[in-house]
């Protein structure tokens, strides 16, 4: 795992290119450590997640490891992967998946836990677990239907088929498709646009969408109102509204 901080952005790179960045137990642990650090570091305001090399984002689970796992061990591994991806999804900071190649199985699941997904033109997506005699275990059965709808999700999960970046964009699995050479720059561009806004407002908007989508609409609306009220009591709200009225750039301080 490569972990680097430049300015307000942390860069997390899964670094096992010889096995297409497959997720073994150690890699899951390294992912958790990197994102825990990014969450705790106040200077980090956003994360870009990608894979080393030019072939794969994350090609899935380490099949050799899976082949030896007992039922109890597999359930534990699934729960641990879910815990790591819940951390990514609920980081409180935007995470952009820069999908630079194969995003299959756990790789697709990892991308889905991110806030925004940008794909290189030759990226591929899929949940092929049924071809190995198992089902998605890193949140795929839950996040994929929420992103693309139940019918499309079931088609992908039950068939195990692999789809192109363009098809992933068509069904709403990815936000944008860009040339591979522009992938990281575009992820940085989106993230910098987000980070130019009021930090607390970004944090609360993320919470409203992430937590609200896991409950009823009525409960989500109550959460939205509460977080709107919290925003309204901040110095950043005062600065943002005054800057707008005075026709000048806002200077936010996350207060």
Catalytic residue (one of 129, 167, 219, 239): 129
Catalytic residue (one of 109, 188, 235, 239): 109
Cα–Cα dist 83/248, whole Å: 43
Answer yes or no: 109 catalytic: yes
Answer yes or no: 4 catalytic: no
Degrees to nearest 5, angle at CA 146 with 73 and 132: 35
Residues annotated as catalytic (active site), given as ranges: 109, 129
């Amino acid at each position: 795992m490569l972990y680097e901080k430049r300015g307000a952005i942390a860069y997390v790179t899964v670094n096992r290119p010889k096995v297409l960045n497959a997720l073994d137990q150690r890699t899951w642990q390294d992912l958790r450590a990197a994102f825990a650090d990014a969450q705790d570091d106040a200077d980090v305001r956003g994360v870009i997640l990608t894979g080393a090399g030019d072939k794969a984002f994350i090609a899935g689970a380490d099949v050799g490891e899976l082949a030896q796992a007992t039922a109890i061990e597999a359930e534990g591994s699934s729960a641990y992967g879910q815990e790591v991806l819940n951390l990514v999804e609920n980081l409180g900071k935007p995470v952009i998946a820069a999908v630079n190649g194969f995003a299959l199985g756990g790789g697709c699941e990892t991308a889905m836990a991110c806030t925004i997904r940008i794909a290189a033109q030759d990226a591929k997506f899929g949940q092929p677990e049924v071809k190995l005699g198992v089902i998605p275990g890193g949140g795929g059965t839950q996040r994929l239907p929420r992103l693309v709808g139940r019918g499309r999700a079931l088609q992908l999960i039950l068939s195990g088929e692999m789809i192109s970046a363009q098809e992933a964009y068509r069904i709403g699995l990815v936000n944008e498709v860009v040339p591979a050479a522009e992938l990281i720059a575009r992820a940085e561009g989106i993230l910098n646009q987000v980070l130019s806004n009021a930090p607390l407002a970004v944090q609360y908007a993320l919470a409203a969408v992430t937590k609200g989508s896991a409950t009823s609409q009525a409960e989500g609306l109550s959460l939205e109102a509460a977080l709107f009220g919290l925003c309204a009591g901040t110095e950043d709200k005062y600065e943002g509204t005054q800057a707008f009225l005075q026709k000048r750039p806002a200077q936010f301080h996350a207060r």
